[in-house]
Amino acid sequence: MQKKTSNLHAKFNAFVSTEGFKSFASSIMAIIFGLAVGFVMLIFANSKYAFDGLIALLTGGFADGMKSLGNVFYLATPIIMTGLSVGFAFKTGLFNIGGSGQYLVGAFVGIYISATWTFIPSSVLWIVALAGSALAGALWAFVPGLLKATRNVNEVITAIMMNYIGVYLVNHLIPLSPIYDSTRNQTVPPRSYIPRAGLDLIFPDSSISASILIAIACVVIVYIVLNKTTFGYELKACGYNQNAGKYAGINEKKCIILSMVIAGALSGLAGGLAHLANTGKYISVVDVLPQDGFDGIAVALLGLSNPGGIFLAGTFIAYLRQGGFFMQRYGYVTEVINIIIATIIYCSAFSAAFKNILTKIKSKKNNKEQKKVAGEEK
Amino acid sequence: MSIFYFIIQQTMIFSIPLLVVALGALFSERSGVTNIAMEGIMILGAFAGVLFMKYVQPILPGQPVFILSLLVAGITGMIVSLLHAYASINMNADQTISGTAINTFAPAFAIYTARIIQQVQQVSFINQFQIKEVPILSKIPILGGMFFKNAYISTYIGVLILVVSWFLLYKTKFGLRLRACGEFPQAADSVGVNVYKIRYAGVIISGLLGGMGGLIFVVPTSVNFNASVAGYGFLAIAVLIFGQWKPMKIFFAAIFFGLMKTLASAYSTIPFMVALNIPTNFYKMAPYIATIIVLIFTSKNSQAPKACGTPYDKEQR
């Protein structure tokens, strides 16, 4: 019996000392700290309802039961996708700051195809539209990738430039195309939507659609590509050390271009998924970059660039945002949520330091136990 | 001729904030710390500056309030940059993380604070800072019209910052040490330079200039501040890379970009450009496309500081 418990104990110890657990523990610490800062913000804004506000924020994702939860997944879909996009590029040592532009051109092409390609039956048109979104995003990221690989142009600057080019090009094209609603200065609703796939039965009255399933599929695919294929290994090798990769016979130019193109396709798809989900979302013709691309950076960092982590991080941020709607009832501005998210990201920067502390505590404990065992043997 | 003067004057309004912020980022990156937090630093600097301006303007009108507000903006930027410095220098964190955190935090905090202080999120101020004619200097033929009419005092401050930055970076002991820390910190450490201190100095200077740059951007282009600097922080980083991490090249990059921006927004006043009949949005795209094209021909030998972005590890000596 005693042997069994000590066996379990050893297993627990082994689990606690894994990298994954340490990352998880440090993320939890970051979240707790972020929420504490958020609570202080609520107190400063209006101390009377601060506690109610915090509860509303934390439970908002469940406030109306499955409906709220469905909306959480709806809000999470695009930022999981842009998070995957940024995280994927990170793995190859590239910083895809162009998610916003890729998202926007993806959204435009998706709406355009779904509203005007009437020769395709509307039951499958959304698939074609989404493919168009991904292609547009890929094309937008191809430029920074190509220039980085062939001309050594810093991908950050090209991606920033492509963001703005995307905004102005889309603003130019929308009024010229049949998808323009000139009285509202925005795009018309698409003709073919992503189906609900029965999810509306589980999450009634919510905005959920098969988008979230597509996002989950992308999470799985990216995980497999990065961790189970030679191609993914090559991408990561280039990210760790370009020269070593080159020495090992990896075509690093191809890696850079493909990594950016795939990242762009993910962000472009994010734009398509967000705008074809039958929630009345449209593109306004204004000179402003969509926020979702920048949110992707936050999601990727919180998720430690791992596909699974990105899924959790995106869902968590969406959960807070959903809670933010309920927090507004007490007169608090939703910006508090971004302050919380910023604090969590900032604290996650300390994860390396926090992991060291955990390791130290572990090794102290181990030392003690070893001494104890040594004493018994004597 | 008046169109020519107008274009130059407008170019200054676009270029100077880019120049100041890019020079700020230069100090951070040459010391070895990537600073993508410039957008957030600009926002909080501009926010504090405009807020100060709003409340002090009724008591102290004219240029002095602008200069004091610039100081407030700069000090705010320095405080914000300390967050970035602590994470990336003391905690050896990935330097994009705290930058992203600050960029997320800044607009949210500005709106949150504005709503608490004055209920609405826009902070308005009275723009009384344009100098119609600088005495004596505006009488100089051509140059007077270009640089000393309808100008802002921030333009001259920006040029002064450029000169001081160049001097500091290339003519002082501090500058040499700063550059060494960005290229090969282990070597700098081996001869007794405190890498951590130098990097702190670099990041804090970037905060000072970033905060000031935020206000310099907002004042000539608006009469209220709405928690945004329209992506100028990211553009400034683009200008920094475009300028190959060198002050004079950054100056030309900022002028180039500002001129393209001006032509894009003021082309309707230039008869020859109207005659071309090119859609507005293509003019708006032009600065960004032109930048990419220039970079294609100039990036082959990138001059990025070698140690930029990597936390300093003493044990790697």
pLDDT tens profile A213-232: 999 999 999 999 999 999 89
- Determine, for residues A298 and B104 on separate chains, whether the beta-carbon distance falls below 8 Å: yes
- Determine, for residues B241 and A154 on separate chains, whether the beta-carbon distance falls below 8 Å: yes
How many structural domains does chain A have? Answer: 1
In the block, residue with structure tokens 């700063």: B178
pLDDT at A16: 65
- Determine, for residues A172 and B281 on separate chains, whether the beta-carbon distance falls below 8 Å: yes
pLDDT at A7: 73
Q: Which is more confidently placed, A83 or B260?
A: A83
The A residues from 116 to 175 touching B (CB cutoff 8 Å) are: 143, 147, 151-154, 156-158, 160-165, 168-169, 171-172
- Determine, for residues A289 and B105 on separate chains, whether the beta-carbon distance falls below 8 Å: no
Partners of A37 on chain B (C-beta within 8 Å) are none
Which of B34, B91, B97 to probe the A interface (max A CBs under 10 A)? B97
Q: Which is more confidently placed, A10 or A153?
A: A153
pLDDT at A36: 93
Residue A222: exposure state from Cβ atoms within 10 A (0-12, 13-18, ≥19): buried
Which of B104, B115, B237 is closest, CB to CB, to A345?
A: B104
- Determine, for residues A343 and B107 on separate chains, whether the beta-carbon distance falls below 8 Å: no
CATH topology of domain B2-316: ABC transporter involved in vitamin B12 uptake, BtuC (1.10.3470)
Which of B87, B88, B295 is closest, CB to CB, to A157?
A: B295
- Determine, for residues B292 and A345 on separate chains, whether the beta-carbon distance falls below 8 Å: no
pLDDT at A156: 85
DSSP string, B171-210: HSHHHHHHHHHHH-HHHHHHTT--HHHHHHHHHHHHHHHH
- Determine, for residues A301 and B302 on separate chains, whether the beta-carbon distance falls below 8 Å: no
- Determine, for residues B108 and A352 on separate chains, whether the beta-carbon distance falls below 8 Å: no
Q: Is B112 on the interface with A (CB under 8 A)?
A: yes
> Could you write out the three-class secondary structure of chain A?
CHHHHHHHHHHHHHHHCCHHHHHHHHHHHHHHHHHHHHHHHHHHHCHHHHHHHHHHHHHHHHCCCHHHHHHHHHHHHHHHHHHHHHHHHHHCCCCCCCHHHHHHHHHHHHHHHHHHCCCCCHHHHHHHHHHHHHHHHHHHHHHHHHHHHHHCCCHHHHHHHHHHHHHHHHHHHHHHCCCEECCCCEECCCCCCCCCCCHHHHCCCCCCCCHHHHHHHHHHHHHHHHHHCHHHHHHHHHHHCHHHHHHCCCCHHHHHHHHHHHHHHHHHHHHHHHHCCCCCCCCECCCCCCCHHHHHHHHHHHCCCCHHHHHHHHHHHHHHHHHHHHHHHHCCCCHHHHHHHHHHHHHHCCHHHHHHHHHHHHHHHHHHHHHHHHHHHC
Which of B91, B241, B285 is closest, CB to CB, to A353?
A: B91
Which of B91, B112, B229 to probe the A interface (max A CBs under 10 A)? B112
CA distance A177 to A193: 20
Band of residue A374 on the pLDDT scale cut at 50, 70, 90: low
Residue of B nearest to A351 (CA): B93
pLDDT at B23: 96
Residue of B nearest to A304 (CA): B97
CA distance B104 to A320: 15
Radius of gyration of chain B (CA): 20
Partners of A341 on chain B (C-beta within 8 Å) are 104
Partners of B37 on chain A (C-beta within 8 Å) are none
Q: Which is more confidently placed, A102 or A13?
A: A102
Q: Is residue A48 scored above 90 in pLDDT?
A: no
What does each C-alpha distance from B74 to A69, A321, B163, B240 come to in angstroms?
Answer: 44, 32, 18, 19
Q: Which is more confidently placed, A256 or A200?
A: A256
Residue of A nearest to B241 (CA): A157
Band of residue A283 on the pLDDT scale cut at 50, 70, 90: confident
CA distance B90 to B88: 6
Q: Is residue A376 scored above 80 in pLDDT?
A: no
pLDDT at B97: 83
Q: Which is more confidently placed, A129 or A349?
A: A129
- Determine, for residues B295 and A153 on separate chains, whether the beta-carbon distance falls below 8 Å: yes
CA B9 vs. chain centroid, Å, equals 18
Which of A95, A151, A349 is closest, CB to CB, to B299?
A: A151
Question: What would the mean pLDDT of A173-183 be, rounded to a whole number?
Answer: 86
pLDDT at B52: 94
Of A107-116, A199-208, B122-131, which has the strongest mean pLDDT? A107-116
CA distance B156 to chain A (A): 28
Q: Are B262 and B10 in contact (CB under 8 A)?
A: yes
**A243 located within any domain:** yes
Question: What would the mean pLDDT of A51-73 be, rounded to a whole number?
Answer: 87
The residues spanned by each domain of chain B are: 2-316
Q: Is residue A369 scored above 70 in pLDDT?
A: no
CA distance B92 to chain A (A): 8
Q: Which is more confidently placed, A104 or A66?
A: A104
CA distance A226 to chain B (A): 21
Question: What would the mean pLDDT of A33-62 be, rounded to a whole number?
Answer: 89
Radius of gyration of chain A (CA): 23
Residue of B nearest to A352 (CA): B93
Which of B93, B105, B241 is closest, CB to CB, to A157?
A: B241
CA distance A239 to A224: 17
Which of A156, A240, A346 to probe the B interface (max B CBs under 10 A)? A346
Q: In chain B, where do the E strands start and end?
A: 123-124, 131-133, 149-151, 224-225
Question: Mean pLDDT in chain A?
Answer: 86
Q: Is residue A378 scored above 60 in pLDDT?
A: no
Q: Are B67 and B239 in contact (CB under 8 A)?
A: no
Token readout for A216 is: 């989950």
Q: Which is more confidently placed, A247 or A3?
A: A247
Q: Is residue A193 scored above 90 in pLDDT?
A: no
Partners of B300 on chain A (C-beta within 8 Å) are 151-152
Partners of B102 on chain A (C-beta within 8 Å) are 342, 346
Partners of A352 on chain B (C-beta within 8 Å) are 91-93
Partners of A289 on chain B (C-beta within 8 Å) are 231
pTM, to two decimals: 0.88
For A344-353, the pLDDT digits (tens) are 889 887 776 7
Q: Give the residue ranges of chain B where pLDDT is below 70.
A: 1, 302, 317
**A15 located within any domain:** no
Question: What would the mean pLDDT of A244-264 be, rounded to a whole number?
Answer: 87
**A375 located within any domain:** no
Residue of A nearest to B93 (CA): A349
Q: Is residue A150 scored above 70 in pLDDT?
A: yes
